[in-house]
């Protein structure tokens, strides 16, 4: 008792010395049992330590166990109780390791081969990688090895042949390479050999013919080549023989067709040839599937197949079978018949009469007969086929007759294709009953009459192709109800009337909408803008007229747009610059006028542009698609000029006025630059202009502000800017980003300035800008159209101002273009520069002196000066504006702290006129104040020194405030 009550260490010391101690303690029964067991007792109580070590090693090989399959694999629990482990009751040795479908990632530890009592390994459906260890050959009790659906690589271990009790080998769906080891032929008990979907090469070893118990051979989807060994076709136990999708060649030995136990033959997609024995249906009475598609088989359809009464799948497609198709009505279990791409048919009128016999096959799901040599009449009994039928494909042969009016009986049809036939008559209205139909293909027939509007009832319809028939009438607007339609092709018919807005606005269309080669009239409805997912739109060769709706620019997925051969008119709208994905554009043979839009140069993917035979005028651009003469066509437009030389167009005339101005500018510049006091003169002159000049115009009377300060919603702005798309981004201002958008019923182009509500002070800025712009109007101020202060879809504060759009962008861009923009912009001429200076001066004069509350802009700089179409300057960004009345009412301390921090460094203090001075220097010298200069506060003096090196600069500029 003393010893038992002692410390753990003493306790162990007592136990380990073994027998001597045991003898001493042997009178204590309890102790004898626990501490002095025989070897056999250890095994039975603790199991075999080797197995535990092996399992733990196996666990270490697993790097990811998201489902926690191996959580229970710990030392407190006996390994026979670990998840997935089954032990023999007597020896406590591991017999089954089942870790299937556990999403395990890792390698198969070679320690697994120490589990010598293993009978089953089930690791299927995981992500084991690495190789299958050769050591696996030590598991001589193994019956089942299943590692299918993993990522195992390397070769199939030939040592597997030492596991002589193996009954099933499943190694399918891995990355196994190399050849099938011929040694496997010794596994006399093997019933299943499955290595499908790997990368196995070489030929099938003839030794596999010795697998005398084999029932299932699955070698599908590898790169096996050579012929099918005759030995393999002599295994009398064979049930399922699957060799599809390899590179096997030669013929199949006729002995295969005598294995009466055979239930299935699948050798699709190989290069096999030969014909089927005429007795096949009798010698293979259990046949359930016969899949021979995609080979070079020849000969007739064996009539005896109608005796293989269990036949379910018959796939003979894409071979060279010929002759008549027998009646198959006796095959009650038939579900699939694929005969397409053969030479079946006799040329007689009853070629398709076997279809009538198929009405007995009440489980028929698929019938595919296209591209054969069938002639004769389409039997109306086709509507009596099984209601399970989901796939029906006819055509590609000289079938006549019409589509039976009760086609709507086949209520489970999902795929209906009757194409390239001589079938006449109309499309039956009952087609609308096919509520499960997803694809309806009836192109290249001789169908006439109207498109039934009942098609609109087919909500699942995904593809509708009625190209090349003689259909008449108008396009039913009910087609717009098919909200799952991705492709609609109605080309080359006699359809007339207008394009229904419901149809052209069907936003599910994503693949193609082809309405070409009809006699459609009217204009292209605005709803075309809904087609934001569509890739190909073709409305060519109709009688469509009117202008291109600007909404077409919304279709940003379009890669092809063909509007050729119609009577469209007007200009090509600027909104089409939104077609960022466009590759081919056809506008030929219309009445388009105006100039060729410059943005076409910038559509990066555009490789085909046909503008021929319109009334376009002016300069042909030279960049982008216009660089390649073979990519564009501009002929048949009489007033085009310029472009690349290959086009052989006249050069564009230089206007006389422009010439004169040019020479004037150069004289002025020369005199300014040469005269020592030139610059000073210039500055003074400008300031004098600012001082003296009366506003050039009265405040504009076209009120864009008054009364109509209608608020616009977040959703409207979202839509107008394509969801604040980066493609619409035109600038980043002091407090937010500016997008181009299309707003309102008139589809005006606007600039939407979205304030970044995360920034501090943005609210104040918003208010300042609204307030400043509320009551002032001047032709050189950017007009505010409306504003928006609400929540975005995420419930965050959203503030935006909508301004009129200034097509020529900011002065900043013209003075200091970014490298990638340089090619687009010409250099401003002197006149333009002077006009800009005057425009800005007149704004400052107006806001300082002529508003009823004087305003200071406080952030005057080139990026806040925008240029309109005629290069008139418009001052914008009043986000920092200060109303003098308010400033003066505040304490001077407060005032300096607010103003002092605002504005862009270098342009600020002491005021707008100071900024104006900097602006003038930039404007006329083209020099840009460097970052360096900004650091210690840019002085006008320093900048002037840089701009005019080697000159003494004196300033006579009066500071205004």
Which residues make Cβ contacts (< 8 Å) with residue 329, sequence separation at least 6? 306, 357, 358, 359, 360, 361
Residue of 22, 168, 635, 909 interacting with ligand NAG (CB under 6 A): 168
Cβ-based nearer residue to ligand NAG, 82 or 562:
82
Contact letters (x/-) for ligand NAG, 45-64, by CB under 6 A?
A: ---x-x--xx----------
State the Rg of the chain over Cα.
42
| CA angle centred on 629, ends 628 and 632, rounded to 5° | 95
- Stretch near ligand NAG under the rule CB under 6 A, chosen from 142-150, 151-159, 277-285, 289-297: 142-150
- As a whole number of angstroms, the distance between CA 565 and CA 560 comes to 16
Contact 812, 874 (CB under 8 A): no
Residue 394 structure tokens: 């006819």
Residue 215 within binding range of ligand NAG, rule CB under 6 A:
no
Residue 150 within binding range of ligand NAG, rule CB under 6 A:
no
What is the DSSP code string of 85-119? EEE-TTT--EEEEE-TTS--EEE--GGGGG-TT--
Cβ-based nearer residue to ligand NAG, 192 or 860:
192
Residue 644 within binding range of ligand NAG, rule CB under 6 A:
no
What does each C-alpha distance from 50 to 54, 134, 641 come to in angstroms? 6, 19, 90
- As a whole number of angstroms, the distance between CA 280 and CA 723 comes to 65
CB neighbour burial string for 619-640, b if at least 16 within 10 angstroms, e if fewer: ebbeebbbeeeeebbbeebeeb
CB of 213: closest distance to ligand NAG in angstroms?
14
- Stretch near ligand NAG under the rule CB under 6 A, chosen from 42-50, 476-484, 596-604, 858-866: 42-50
- As a whole number of angstroms, the distance between CA 195 and CA 521 comes to 61
- As a whole number of angstroms, the distance between CA 644 and CA 626 comes to 7
Cβ-based nearer residue to ligand NAG, 83 or 279:
83
Binding-site size for ligand NAG (CB under 6 A) equals: 26
Residue 72 within binding range of ligand NAG, rule CB under 6 A:
yes
CB of 205: closest distance to ligand NAG in angstroms?
21
DSSP H or E segment with residue 198: none
Cβ-based nearer residue to ligand NAG, 74 or 885:
74
Cα dihedral across residues 752, 755, 757, 763: positive or negative: negative
Residue 131 within binding range of ligand NAG, rule CB under 6 A:
no
- Stretch near ligand NAG under the rule CB under 6 A, chosen from 43-51, 491-499, 544-552, 703-711: 43-51
Residue 426 within binding range of ligand NAG, rule CB under 6 A:
no
CB of 238: closest distance to ligand NAG in angstroms?
17
Contact letters (x/-) for ligand NAG, 173-202, by CB under 6 A?
A: -------------------x----------
Residue 159 within binding range of ligand NAG, rule CB under 6 A:
no
CB of 84: closest distance to ligand NAG in angstroms?
12
User: Binders of ligand NAG among 89-128, rule CB under 6 A?
Assistant: 110-111, 113-114, 116, 124-125
Residue 160 within binding range of ligand NAG, rule CB under 6 A:
no
Residue 146 within binding range of ligand NAG, rule CB under 6 A:
yes
First to last CA, the chain: 105
Residue 335 within binding range of ligand NAG, rule CB under 6 A:
no
Q: Look at the block and give the residue holding tokens 């192709």.
A: 465
Cβ-based nearer residue to ligand NAG, 79 or 587:
79
Contact 424, 444 (CB under 8 A): no
Cβ-based nearer residue to ligand NAG, 136 or 687:
136
What does each C-alpha distance from 38 to 27, 41, 45, 338, 679 come to in angstroms? 17, 5, 11, 70, 112
Residue 135 within binding range of ligand NAG, rule CB under 6 A:
yes
- Stretch near ligand NAG under the rule CB under 6 A, chosen from 146-154, 442-450, 474-482, 813-821: 146-154
Cβ-based nearer residue to ligand NAG, 91 or 598:
91
Residue 77 within binding range of ligand NAG, rule CB under 6 A:
yes
CB of 724: closest distance to ligand NAG in angstroms?
48
Contact 228, 206 (CB under 8 A): no
Which residue among the candidates 245, 859, 877, 912 is catalytic per the annotation? 859
CB of 135: closest distance to ligand NAG in angstroms?
5
Bridge-based pairing state of the strands 289-291 and 463-465:
unpaired
Contact 706, 785 (CB under 8 A): no
Residue 74 within binding range of ligand NAG, rule CB under 6 A:
yes
- Stretch near ligand NAG under the rule CB under 6 A, chosen from 71-79, 379-387, 863-871, 902-910: 71-79
For the question of residue 792 being annotated catalytic, the response is no
Cβ-based nearer residue to ligand NAG, 195 or 875:
195
- The three state secondary structure string of 418-475 is EECCCCECECCHHHHHCCCCCEEECCCCCCECECCHHHHHCCCCCEEECCCCCCECEC
Contact letters (x/-) for ligand NAG, 777-806, by CB under 6 A?
A: ------------------------------
Q: Which of 841, 705, 702 is nearest to 769 (CA)?
A: 705
- As a whole number of angstroms, the distance between CA 400 and CA 384 comes to 19
**Overall size of the chain counted in residues:** 961
Which residues make Cβ contacts (< 8 Å) with residue 223, sequence separation at least 6? 199, 200, 201, 246, 247
- The rounded Cα 796 to chain-centroid distance in angstroms is 29
Cβ-based nearer residue to ligand NAG, 14 or 164:
164
Residue 84 within binding range of ligand NAG, rule CB under 6 A:
no
Cβ-based nearer residue to ligand NAG, 10 or 53:
53
- As a whole number of angstroms, the distance between CA 683 and CA 956 comes to 9
Cβ-based nearer residue to ligand NAG, 146 or 542:
146
Residue of 92, 95, 102, 148 interacting with ligand NAG (CB under 6 A): 148
User: Binders of ligand NAG among 10-39, rule CB under 6 A?
Assistant: 39
CB neighbour burial string for 202-213, b if at least 16 within 10 angstroms, e if fewer: ebbbebbbbbee
Residues near ligand NAG (CB under 6 A) = 39, 43, 48, 50, 53-54, 71-72, 74, 76-77, 110-111, 113-114, 116, 124-125, 135, 144, 146, 148-149, 168, 170, 192
Q: Among all residues, which ones are annotated catalytic?
A: 859
């Amino acid at each position: 008792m003393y010893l038992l009550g002692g410390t753990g260490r003493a306790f162990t010391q007592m136990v380990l010395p073994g027998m001597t101690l045991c003898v001493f303690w042997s009178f204590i029964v309890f102790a004898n049992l626990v501490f002095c067991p025989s070897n056999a007792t250890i095994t039975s109580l603790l199991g075999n330590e080797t197995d535990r070590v092996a399992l733990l090693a196996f666990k270490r090989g697993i790097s990811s166990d998201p489902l926690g399959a191996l959580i229970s694999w710990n030392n407190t629990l006996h390994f026979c109780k670990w998840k997935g482990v089954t032990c023999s009751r007597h020896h406590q040795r591991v017999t089954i390791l089942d870790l299937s479908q556990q999403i395990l990632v890792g390698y198969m530890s070679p320690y697994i081969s120490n589990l010598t009592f293993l009978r089953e390994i089930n690791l299927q459906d995981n992500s084991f990688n690495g190789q299958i260890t050769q050591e696996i050959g030590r598991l001589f009790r193994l019956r089942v090895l299943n590692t299918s659906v993993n990522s195992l690589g390397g070769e199939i271990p030939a040592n597997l042949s030492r596991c002589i009790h193996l009954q099933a080998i499943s190694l399918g769906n891995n990355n196994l390479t190399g050849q099938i080891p011929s040694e496997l032929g010794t596994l006399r008990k093997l019933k299943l050999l499955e290595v499908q979907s790997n990368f196995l090469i070489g030929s099938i070893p003839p030794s596999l013919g010795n697998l005398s118990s084999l029932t299932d051979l699955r070698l599908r989807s590898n790169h096996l080549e050579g012929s099918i060994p005759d030995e393999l076709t002599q295994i009398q136990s064979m049930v399922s023989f699957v060799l599809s999708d390899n590179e096997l060649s030669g013929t199949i030995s006729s002995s295969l067709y005598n294995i009466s136990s055979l239930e299935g033959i699948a050798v699709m997609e190989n290069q096999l040839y030969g014909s089927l024995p005429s007795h096949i249906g009798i010698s293979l009475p259990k046949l359930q599937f016969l899949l021979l598609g995609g080979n070079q088989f020849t000969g007739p359809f064996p009539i005896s197949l109608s005796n293989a009464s269990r036949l379910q799948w018959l796939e003979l497609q894409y071979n060279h079978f010929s002759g008549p198709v027998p009646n198959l009505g006796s095959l009650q279990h038939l579900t699939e018949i694929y005969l397409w791409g053969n030479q079946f048919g006799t040329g007689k009128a009853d070629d398709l009469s076997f279809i009538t016999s198929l009405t007995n096959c009440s489980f028929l799901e698929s019938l595919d007969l296209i591209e054969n040599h069938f002639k004769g009449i389409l039997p109306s009994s086709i509507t009596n086929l099984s209601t399970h039928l989901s796939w029906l494909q006819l055509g590609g042969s000289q079938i006549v007759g019409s589509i039976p009016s009760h086609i709507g009986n086949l209520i489970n049809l999902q795929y209906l294709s009757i194409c390239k036939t001589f079938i006449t008559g109309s499309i039956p209205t009952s087609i609308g009953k096919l509520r499960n139909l997803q694809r309806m293909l009836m192109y290249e027939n001789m169908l006439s009459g109207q498109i039934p509007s009942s098609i609109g009832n087919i909500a699942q319809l995904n593809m509708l192709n009625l190209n090349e028939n003689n259909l008449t009438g108008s396009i039913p607007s009910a087609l717009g109800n098919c909200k799952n339609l991705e492709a609609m092709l109605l080309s080359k018919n006699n359809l007339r009337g207008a394009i229904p807005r419901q149809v052209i606005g069907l936003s599910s269309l994503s693949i193609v909408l082809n309405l070409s080669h009809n006699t459609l009239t009217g204009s292209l409805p605005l709803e075309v803008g809904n087609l934001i997912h569509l890739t190909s739109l073709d409305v060519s060769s109709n009688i469509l007229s009117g202008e291109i709706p600007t909404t077409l620019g919304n279709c940003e997925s379009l890669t092809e747009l063909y509007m050729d051969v119609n009577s469209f008119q007007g200009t090509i709208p600027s909104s089409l610059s939104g077609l960022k994905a466009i590759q081919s554009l056809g506008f030929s043979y219309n009445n388009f006028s105006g100039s060729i839009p410059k943005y076409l140069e910038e559509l990066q993917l555009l490789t085909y542009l046909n503008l021929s035979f319109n009334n376009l005028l002016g300069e042909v651009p030279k960049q982008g698609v216009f660089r390649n003469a073979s990519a564009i066509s501009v002929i048949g437009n009489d007033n085009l000029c310029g472009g690349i030389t290959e086009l052989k167009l006249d050069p564009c005339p230089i206007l006389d006025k422009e010439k004169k101005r040019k020479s004037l500018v150069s004289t002025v510049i020369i005199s300014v630059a040469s005269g020592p006091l030139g610059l000073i003169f210039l500055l003074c002159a400008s300031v004098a202009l600012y001082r003296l000049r009366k506003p050039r115009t009265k405040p504009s009377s076209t009120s864009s502000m008054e009364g109509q300060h209608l608020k616009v919603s977040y959703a409207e702005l979202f839509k107008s800017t394509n969801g604040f798309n980066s493609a619409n981004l035109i600038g980043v201002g002091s407090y937010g980003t500016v997008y181009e958008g299309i707003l309102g019923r008139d589809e005006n182009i606007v600039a939407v300035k979205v304030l970044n509500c995360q920034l501090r002070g943005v609210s104040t800025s918003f208010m300042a800008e609204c307030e400043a712009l509320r009551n002032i109007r001047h032709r050189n101020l950017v007009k505010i159209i409306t504003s928006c202060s609400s929540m975005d879809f995420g419930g965050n504060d959203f503030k935006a101002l909508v301004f009129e759009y200034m097509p020529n962008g900011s002065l900043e861009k013209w003075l200091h273009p970014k490298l990638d923009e340089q090619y687009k912009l010409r250099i401003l001429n002197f006149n333009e520069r002077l006009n800009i200076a005057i425009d800005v001066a007149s704004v400052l004069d107006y806001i300082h002196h002529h508003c009823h509350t004087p305003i200071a802009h406080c952030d005057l700089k080139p990026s806040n000066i925008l240029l309109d179409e005629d290069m008139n300057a418009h001052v914008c960004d009043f986000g920092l504006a200060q109303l003098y009345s308010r400033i003066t009412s505040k304490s001077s301390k407060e005032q300096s702290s607010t103003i002092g921090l605002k504005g862009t460094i270098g342009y600020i203090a002491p005021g707008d006129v100071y900024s104006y001075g900097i602006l003038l220097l930039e404007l006329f010298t083209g020099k840009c104040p460097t970052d360096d200069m900004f650091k210690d506060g840019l002085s006008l003096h320093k900048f002037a020194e840089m701009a005019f090196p080697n000159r003494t600069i004196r300033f006579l500029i009066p500071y205004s405030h």
